[in-house]
A and B are shown apart, each in its own frame.
Chain A
Amino acid sequence: MKALLLRDLALAVKAGGGFGLSLAFFLIVTVLIPFGVGPDTGILREVASGVLWVGALLACLLSLDRIFQLDYEDGSMDLLVTAPLPLEGLVAVKAFAHWLTTGLPLTLLAPVLAVLLNLDPAGFPWLVVSLALGTPALSMIGTFGAALTVGLKRGGLLLSLLVLPLYVPTLIFGAETVRRAVDGFDIVTPLLMLSGITMGAIALLPFAAAAAIRINLR
């Protein structure tokens, strides 16, 4: 498991692996928003929490098809499946590697971008916390979507159509947490719901994703 994790991380960081791409995408989305809605700091402050969450979500989506596609194409998927590691474990490790290379950097980058969008200071810690709690769910759900579409030639667009509706609850609770923190309301409930979604996704989706991979490799 550890070897697989290190291998995935090395592949992602290597040239052409896509690490940094999603970060750059996140940055660009955040920079584009003020051009779209105008540089009025009041408006930006209003939408900052939602924009940051949507941006993180889209950046996460961008790197999903890499999770299995390359392994599937060069045949290493078959080797991984026949390895002693259970397929569910393999999927979980893949999702974890995706989170380490996408979700975690996005979480760390978010406060910097939040300054650009003039987020209320009260929102900063909870933005980081909600992203840290929510992005694992995004990675796990995305891994499931990637497992569904791994056998397809050009599955990228289909992947986003399948995965984005599944992202809705995570997005709602994540952005709600930050918004409530900014407005000074109680944030425990959305935060608990968000953690619940993440826990549930980590507990259940590896099985669904593994089943999808078994079907695709049949």
Chain B
Amino acid sequence: MSLWEYANPKKFMQTSSAVLPFVAVLTVVCLTVGLTWGFFFTPDDFRQGSTVKIIYLHVPSAMMAINIWVMMLVTSLIWLIRRHHVSVLAAKAAAPIGVVMTLMALFTGAIWGQPMWGTWWEWDPRLTSFLILFLFYLGYMALWSAIENADTAADLTSILCLVGSVFAVLSRYAANFWNQGLHQGATLSLDKEENISDVFYFPLLFCLAGFVLLFVTLLLVRTRTEIRARRLSALRLRERQAA
């Protein structure tokens, strides 16, 4: 019994189909509880008013936007080293989710920034690096769709993901250096003293968990689709060769 057993597509399909309903239900529960609690049962912030509630979408989506890229980095590495197809298909399946999360963080940020900073967009290091991350996702997806041979595409996108990660981190610090920011620093952690108020913190925890679960659910569904699509094309190929 080892982790690598799940790299077998058949085993992966079995396990994921068993796990999927539970994760999906848990996602709905967490998001419903978190968002309802956050939107309707928390007081308005004394300075920010009701706009503070964008935090329940902004922070989780921003967090996922970065973490999904990290997850793609890990699965790409696994593909390059151990050649497990499920791994690279998971990376492929994750990219569009990552794009949506990045866009969501940018949009909610703009909506939040308008009343708070008086501007929709500011060339702030955090905002800029998210825009660049968005471009990285686009490039990664474009490369996937441009190459016909599936294995070649998997190899090349994995290499791009590795190199891209280095440059994404570099861009982050470069942007930081290039311009001083308007965006606040991290006010969210499990162990620090300065934290956002508990009233906002607990619903936010639910939302964070909900977004992670949402990603897992979507990732499982999309990876299953990718595996099925791969099987379908293999079947078609065999049929054509038989004919």
Which residues from chain B contact A166 at a C-beta distance below 8 Å? 163-164, 167
Residue ID in chain B nearest A173 by CB atoms: B174
Which residues from chain B contact A149 at a C-beta distance below 8 Å? 143, 146
Q: Which A122-142 residues have a C-beta within 8 angstroms of B?
A: none
A165 touching B139 in the complex, CB below 8 Å, given contacts A151-B147, A172-B174: yes
Which residues from chain B contact A158 at a C-beta distance below 8 Å? 142-143, 146
Residue ID in chain B nearest A157 by CB atoms: B142
A164 located at the interface, meaning its Cβ lies under 8 Å from any Cβ of chain B in the complex: yes
In the complex, are the beta carbons of A211 and B159 less than 8 A apart? yes
In the complex, are the beta carbons of A151 and B152 less than 8 A apart? yes
In the complex, are the beta carbons of A165 and B171 less than 8 A apart? yes
A212 located at the interface, meaning its Cβ lies under 8 Å from any Cβ of chain B in the complex: yes
Q: Is the interface of B mostly helix, strand, loop or mixed?
A: helix
Cα of A164 to Cα of B138 in the assembled complex, Å:
12
A13 located at the interface, meaning its Cβ lies under 8 Å from any Cβ of chain B in the complex: no
In the complex, are the beta carbons of A172 and B177 less than 8 A apart? yes
Q: Interface size of A by Cβ–Cβ distance < 8 Å? A: 28
B136 located at the interface, meaning its Cβ lies under 8 Å from any Cβ of chain A in the complex: yes
Residue ID in chain A nearest B175 by CB atoms: A172
Cα of A169 to Cα of B176 in the assembled complex, Å:
11
Residue of A168, A208, A211, A215 ringed by the most chain B CB atoms within 10 A: A168
Partner of B146 from A152, A176, A205 at Cβ < 8 Å: A152
Q: Mark B104-144, 1 if CB is under 8 A from A, else 0.
A: 00000000000000000000000000001001101100110
In the complex, are the beta carbons of B170 and A197 less than 8 A apart? yes
A176 touching B156 in the complex, CB below 8 Å, given contacts A151-B147, A166-B163: no
A155 touching B174 in the complex, CB below 8 Å, given contacts A164-B135, A165-B139: no
A161 touching B139 in the complex, CB below 8 Å, given contacts A166-B167, A208-B163: yes
Which residues from chain A contact B162 at a C-beta distance below 8 Å? 208
A215 touching B164 in the complex, CB below 8 Å, given contacts A172-B175, A193-B177: no
In the complex, are the beta carbons of A193 and B174 less than 8 A apart? yes
B: interface residue count bin = 20 to 34
B178 located at the interface, meaning its Cβ lies under 8 Å from any Cβ of chain A in the complex: yes
In the complex, are the beta carbons of B174 and A148 less than 8 A apart? no
Q: Mark A171-191, 1 if CB is under 8 A from B, else 0.
A: 011001000000000000110
Which residues from chain A contact B132 at a C-beta distance below 8 Å? 165, 168
Which residues from chain A contact B170 at a C-beta distance below 8 Å? 169, 197
B160 located at the interface, meaning its Cβ lies under 8 Å from any Cβ of chain A in the complex: yes
Cα of A172 to Cα of B174 in the assembled complex, Å:
7
In the complex, are the beta carbons of A144 and B171 less than 8 A apart? no
In the complex, are the beta carbons of A216 and B152 less than 8 A apart? yes
In the complex, are the beta carbons of A161 and B138 less than 8 A apart? yes
Ranked nearest first, the 6 interchain pairs of A and B with the lowest CB-CB distance are: A169-B174, A165-B135, A172-B174, A215-B155, A169-B170, A162-B139
Interface residues of B (CB under 8 A from A): 132, 135-136, 138-139, 142-143, 146-147, 152, 155-156, 159-160, 162-164, 167-168, 170-171, 174-175, 177-178
The 20 listed contacts between A and B (C-beta, < 8 Å) are A148-B143, A148-B156, A149-B143, A149-B146, A151-B147, A152-B146, A158-B143, A158-B146, A161-B139, A161-B142, A162-B139, A162-B142, A162-B160, A164-B135, A165-B135, A168-B171, A172-B174, A173-B174, A212-B159, A216-B156
